[in-house]
């Protein structure tokens, strides 16, 4: 017998969303890798490269007015093997590496450019994006610790710069949170994980499970492509989450 009538409205909504997500994943209607725009594919390729190199898994891409990729970057803040000038520094964020490549004289139409990043920009990155003149920013996962999209109208000057920040699909957020959570007790990501445990507890638990299984270490050792990893995360997350939901709801 089902005890659905005893569920809170929030629990009912959560289970319904899991069912919808699972249906989309198994039927191929969710934003699986093949349906991602090329810019987002490159964002997650960069994020995965950061993961493989022992730092925070964040990637960024910049498109010009013709929607061509003109710059890309990945987090190198804790990458001991990278020889980039920002590697090993507090400024080694994906957005910073991407922005550094855009010289003014070579990009006169930069105000028409768009920046895509897997994690909501921090204050430093938001300020840098604003000062370069880029108007449109898209991110996959909210950062409850350092995310600074709220700064877009905090002062008259910042508001006058006209930066528009948009959060994208929840499926990409799932993948980003799982990648960061699965880093385990890697200190730099712990605060972000703690903020996600409220709104995205199931995703965090799933990321911890993959960490305990050495899921991503095995993927690295076997040179598994990010496209396969991305699809695998979504399908397995929705499948297991739905099974857990049914276990919590149903009783004999």
Q: Which residues are catalytic?
A: 95
The owner of tokens 């450019």 is 113
Report the DSSP beta bridge partners of residue 63.
69, 114
Nearest to 98 by CA among 158, 47, 167, 51: 47
Read off φ and ψ for residue 5, nearest 5 degrees. Answer: -65, -20
For the chain, the distance separating the N- and C-terminal CA atoms, rounded to the nearest angstrom, is: 6
Please name the residue ranges forming H helices in the chain.
9-27, 38-52, 94-100, 123-132, 156-160, 170-181, 187-199, 201-212, 215-221, 226-249
What are the backbone angles phi and psi of residue 243, rounded to the nearest 5°?
A: -60, -45
Contact 121, 138 (CB under 8 A): no
Q: Are 134 and 163 in contact (CB under 8 A)?
A: yes
CB 216, CB 7: distance < 8 Å: no
| Nearest-5° Cα angle at 25, 94 to 227 | 40
Interatomic CA distance for residues 201 and 197, integer angstroms: 4
Q: What are phi and psi of 164, to 5 degrees?
A: -110, 120
């Amino acid at each position: 017998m089902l005890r659905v009538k005893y569920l809170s409205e929030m629990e009912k909504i959560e289970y319904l969303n899991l069912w919808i997500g699972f249906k989309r994943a198994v039927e191929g209607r969710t934003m699986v890798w093949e349906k991602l725009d090329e810019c987002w594919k490159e964002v997650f390729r960069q994020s995965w490269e950061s993961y493989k190199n022992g730092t925070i898994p964040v990637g960024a891409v910049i498109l010009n007015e013709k929607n061509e990729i003109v710059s890309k970057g990945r987090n190198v803040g804790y990458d001991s093997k990278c020889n980039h000038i920002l590697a090993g520094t507090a400024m080694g964020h994906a957005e910073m590496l991407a922005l550094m490549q855009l010289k003014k004289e070579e990009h006169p139409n930069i105000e028409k450019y768009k920046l895509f990043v897997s994690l909501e920009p921090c204050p430093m990155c938001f300020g840098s994006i604003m000062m370069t003149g880029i108007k449109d920013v898209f991110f996959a996962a909210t950062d409850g610790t350092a995310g600074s999209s709220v700064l877009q109208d905090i002062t008259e000057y910042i508001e006058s710069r006209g930066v528009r920040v948009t959060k994208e699909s929840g499926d990409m957020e799932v993948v980003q949170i799982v990648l960061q959570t699965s880093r385990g007790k890697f200190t730099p990501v712990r605060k972000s994980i703690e903020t996600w445990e409220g709104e995205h507890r199931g995703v965090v638990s799933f990321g911890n499970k993959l960490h305990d299984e050495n899921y991503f270490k095995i993927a690295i050792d076997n040179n598994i492509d990010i496209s396969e990893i991305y699809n695998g995360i979504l399908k397995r997350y929705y499948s297991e989450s739905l099974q857990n939901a049914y276990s919590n709801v149903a009783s004999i």
